[in-house]
């Protein structure tokens, strides 16, 4: 139990540090505070998994910086690629897309990201983990266990809220997409060139009814958080509905 608690606290620590890094980069880019995370809380689990994998595989096995760099790069990119595939399959959405970057693999990983991960792996093994692991190791064993249980409960609650919202959101997007398709069907001959113009008039049509408005209003805060955290997110099956939902919610949010 104690050893699992220690590993779990490592996972939480590096998930938090990953969230700080991602949120700082995105906030600077967007010039506003962005909660850059799949979850509501300040955690990016993909960084936690990547850090644990790097520690278990690389720590105390080599001091060669070149090996640490390339091995860390491979480990992190593998985890990022697998995570991207799983999120796409589970939620029918593409959460990040590096297709515009040179030397990318299906838009899921890219060379510049791999280089950053390699550098972070070296820093993790040589400097960060000795410090973070040492701090956690100084906690009494019962404190580690209690802290792990409390954080785990909050993590599971956050995961439930997030996943439930995304599943419900997909259901709403499906219904919105059906209404949009019916709307566009009336203008099938013009839809090719005038789709964007037509889409801007969707709110003025009879298809933008009270049922669709209600779907848009549900869990508005959660949807806006996801939009701001992942601005390049695309729905695989319902992207017209997703883009329309984004424009409506961000438009209403900017007026508040």
pLDDT in tens, 176-209: 888 888 877 776 655 555 666 667 777 888 888 8
Can you give the pLDDT at residue 198? 67
- Give the domain-ending residue among 80, 108, 140: 140
% pLDDT > 90, the chain: 46
Can you give the pLDDT at residue 194? 62
Examine residue 150 and state whether it is found in any structural domain, yes or no: no
Does residue 70 sit in the same domain as residue 175? Answer: no
Does residue 169 sit in the same domain as residue 50? Answer: no
Can you give the pLDDT at residue 255? 46
- Give yes or no for a contact between 97 and 239, defined as CB atoms under 8 angstroms apart: no
Can you give the pLDDT at residue 188? 60
Count of the separate structural domains present in the chain: 2
Interval 163-177 mean pLDDT: 88
Examine residue 18 and state whether it is found in any structural domain, yes or no: yes
Does residue 95 sit in the same domain as residue 189? Answer: no
**pLDDT higher at 119 or 228:** 119
For the whole model, what pTM was predicted?
Answer: 0.80
Statement: residue 68 has pLDDT above 60: yes
Examine residue 53 and state whether it is found in any structural domain, yes or no: yes
Can you give the pLDDT at residue 192? 57
Q: Which domain holds residue 231?
A: 155-255
Does residue 130 sit in the same domain as residue 167? Answer: no
Residue 230: pLDDT band with limits 50, 70, 90: confident
Please state which of the ranges 20-29, 31-40, 95-104 shows the lowest mean pLDDT. Answer: 31-40
Taking each helix axis as running N to C, give the angle between helix 191-200 and helix 239-255, from 0 to 180 degrees, rounded to the nearest 10.
Answer: 30
Two tokens, residue 185: 């069907």
């Amino acid at each position: 139990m104690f050893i699992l608690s220690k590993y779990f606290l490592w996972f939480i620590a590096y998930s938090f540090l990953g969230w700080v890094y991602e949120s700082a980069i995105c906030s600077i880019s967007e010039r506003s505070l962005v909660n850059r995370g799949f979850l509501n809380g300040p955690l990016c689990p993909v960084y936690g998994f990547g850090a644990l994998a790097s520690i278990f595989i690389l720590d105390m096995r080599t001091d060669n910086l070149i090996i640490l760099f390339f091995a860390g790069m491979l480990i992190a990119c593998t985890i990022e690629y697998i995570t991207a595939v799983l999120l796409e399959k589970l939620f029918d959405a593409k959460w990040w897309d590096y297709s515009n970057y040179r030397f990318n693999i299906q838009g899921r990983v890219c060379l510049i990201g791999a280089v950053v991960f390699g550098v972070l792996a070296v820093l993790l093994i040589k400097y960060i983990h000795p410090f973070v692991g040492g701090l956690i190791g100084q906690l009494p064993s019962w404190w580690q266990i209690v802290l792990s249980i409390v954080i785990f409960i909050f993590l599971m609650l956050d995961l439930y809220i997030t996943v439930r919202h995304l599943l419900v959101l997909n259901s709403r997007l499906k219904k919105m997409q059906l209404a949009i398709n019916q709307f566009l069907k009336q203008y099938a001959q013009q839809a090719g060139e005038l789709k964007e113009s037509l889409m801007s008039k969707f709110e003025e049509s009879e298809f933008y009814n009270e049922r669709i408005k209600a779907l848009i209003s549900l869990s508005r805060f959660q949807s806006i958080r996801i939009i701001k955290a992942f601005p390049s997110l695309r729905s695989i099956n319902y992207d017209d509905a997703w883009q329309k939902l984004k424009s409506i919610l961000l438009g209403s949010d900017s007026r508040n």
